[in-house]
A and B are shown apart, each in its own frame.
Chain A
C-alpha cells in the first residue's frame, strides 16, 4: 500500500468518525423528551436558563467547532 492509498483510507475514516460523532451528539438532543433527560429541565442556579436550553446552544457551537477542527485537519493533510 503506498502513501496515497493509505491517505485515502485515512481521509474516509476521518469523514466517518466526524459524521458519527456529530450524529451521536445530534440525536442526544432527543434525551430531552425521555425520562433519562429529565435532569435537563432543571434551571441553572438562580437563572431561568435550563439545561435543555443550554444544550441547544452548546450543540450548535460544538457542531461549528467540529467543522472547524475537520477543516483544520483537512488543510493540514493537504499541506503535508
Chain B
C-alpha cells in the first residue's frame, strides 16, 4: 500500500515539478518543521566562526571603495574561479536538480547542462573584455561608450530588479530549507541568514564575500564527492550498476534513463536552455566577480576554473540523482504515512546523504546547504549595494567624483537596507508561490543585460537610444509573458489555462530585445548616436589589448 502511495506521489509530482522546481531558487510549497538537528547546527557554527574570523581580518583591509567592491583586484584566477563556483552553485542547484532527477531521471539534467553552458560563453565573449573595461560593475562597461546617465539608470534598475527578485526567492527558499534541515522557525532562519550576510558584506566587503564563497564551494564539492563515492562504493564502483538499481526502484523503470518523463515539448526545452544560458551569463553578481582579479589573463582563468569546478559538480549530481532514485525510493524511513517523501522531492539529496553516510554526513550536508545560502545571498547583496552606491550615487549623482568616505558609508547603509528588505520580503512572501519570482531574474538577465553587454562590446553601430528602447522592451515583455505564463496565470491567479504556454519566455523576449536594439540603433541619426559610434573604436582596442589605441589606427577597425 505504501509503495502504491509512493508511486502515485512520484507520478503526480512529475507534472507539478515541471513548473515549480525549474524555478531554480526556492523550496516550494508548505514545509513541515523537522526536529532540531544538533549535528548540523554544530557543524554550521564551526563554519560561521571561521567565516566571521575571515571577515574580521578582511574588515581591517576594507578601507576604500575599491577594496570593498573588488577586493582590491588581488584575487587570483583559481581563487576567483572557486569563488564564482561558490557564488553560482546554489542550494537550489544541489537540492532542486537532485530532486528533479529523483522524480524524472534524465529530464532533470536539462537544468544542469543549461546552467553549465553559460561558462564557456562567459569566457569566449566577455571575461577579458569586461575585465579590461570595467572597474566595479558591468554597468561601467556599457556606460563607457554610451551616454552615461540614462544608461546607468536603466541598467542599475534592471540590476536591482534581478537582485531583489533573486534575493526574495533565495530568502523564501532559505527559510523553508532551514526549517527542514535544522528545525528552526522560519522567521528566525531569515534573521540569522540576513544578520550573518550583513556582517560579511558590510564589514568585509568583496574580500570577505570571496572567502565565504571559496570555503562554501570547497565544502559543497567535498560533500557531493563523498556522497558520490559512497554511493558508487555500494555497487562496486559500477555506474551502470547504479543506473540498473535506479531503474528497478523507479515506477517509470528504464524510461528514466532518457528524455520524456517530465518534459515532452522540445520548444519548452529550448526555452529553458536559452533562459539558463544567457540568463546566467548576464547575472550582475557573477559579472562583478570578474573585477576582483588583477588582469585580463586572470579573468579568463577565472571563467575556466569556474567551468572546471561547476562541470565536476554537475557530473557528481548525475551520480547523486540516480543514487537517490536507487537508494531512497526503496527506504520506507524517508517517506511519511501518506507515502510522500519527507520534506518533499527537494530533500532527496539530503536523504541520500543519510542513506550512505548516516547522521554525520546528513549534518554536514545540511550545514553546507546553510553555508551555500549565505554565500549566494552575500554575493547578491554586494551586487545590489554596488548598483545603488557606485552606479547611481557615485557615477550618476556625483558624476564620477564622489567623496570616497561618503560612498563607502552609503554602500554599507545600502547593504543594511537590502538585508532588512530581504527579511521583510522573505516574511511577506512566506506563503506565496515564489516560482515565478525565481524565474524573473534569469529571463530579465537574458533579455536585458546580455543583449546590452554583447552589442556594446561587439557592434560599432550600437547607440544609447537603441540600448534604452531594447532594454525597456526586454524588461517589459519578460515580466508580461511571465505573468501570462503558467507560473502566475495558473498557479498564482488560479486560471485554468495559461495565455502564454511557457515558464521561461527568454526564447522570445531575448531576440525581441536584440531586434529593437538593432533596429532603433540603425535608425538613430542623433548627434549622440554619432558619438556612441565614434566611441566604439577606442573601446574595442582597450577591451582587447587593455590599453588605449594608438592615434590614427583604431578608426579603421
Contact = CB atoms under 8 A, between A and B. Distances in A.
B259 A52 contact: yes
A12 B543 CA distance: 11
Interface of A: 1-2, 4-5, 8-9, 11-12, 15, 18-19, 22-23, 26-27, 29-30, 32-34, 37, 40-41, 43, 47-53, 56-57, 59-61, 63-64, 66-68, 70-71, 74, 78
A18 B300 contact: no
A4 B266 contact: no
A79 to B, nearest CB: 12
A49 B240 contact: yes
A64 B545 CA distance: 25
Contacts of B359: none
B19 interface: no
A47 B123 CA distance: 36
B100 to A, nearest CB: 14
A58 to B, nearest CB: 11
Contacts of A64: 307-308, 311
A41 B258 contact: yes
Interface string B525-557: 000000000000000110011000010010011
A33 B269 contact: yes
Given A26-B277, A33-B263, A63-B311, A48 B556 contact: no
Nearest to B128: A74
A76 to B, nearest CB: 13
Interface string B344-387: 00000000000000000000000000000000000000000000
B488 interface: no
A56 B113 contact: yes
Given A19-B124, A49-B239, A30 B273 contact: yes
Contacts of B148: none
B116 A63 contact: yes
A60 B314 contact: yes
A41 B259 contact: yes
25 contacts: A4-B545, A4-B553, A8-B557, A22-B120, A26-B113, A26-B277, A29-B110, A30-B270, A32-B259, A33-B260, A33-B265, A37-B259, A40-B258, A48-B240, A48-B244, A49-B240, A50-B106, A53-B243, A53-B318, A56-B106, A56-B112, A57-B315, A60-B113, A67-B307, A71-B123
Contacts of A74: 128, 300
Contacts of A49: 239-240, 243, 257
B117 interface: yes
Contacts of A53: 106, 243, 257-258, 318
Given A2-B553, A56-B109, A47 B240 contact: yes
Interface string B286-316: 0000000000010011011001100100110
A67 B273 contact: no
Contacts of A34: 266
B247 interface: yes
A49 to B, nearest CB: 6
A9 B557 contact: yes
B240 A15 contact: no
Contacts of A1: 556
B258 A50 contact: yes
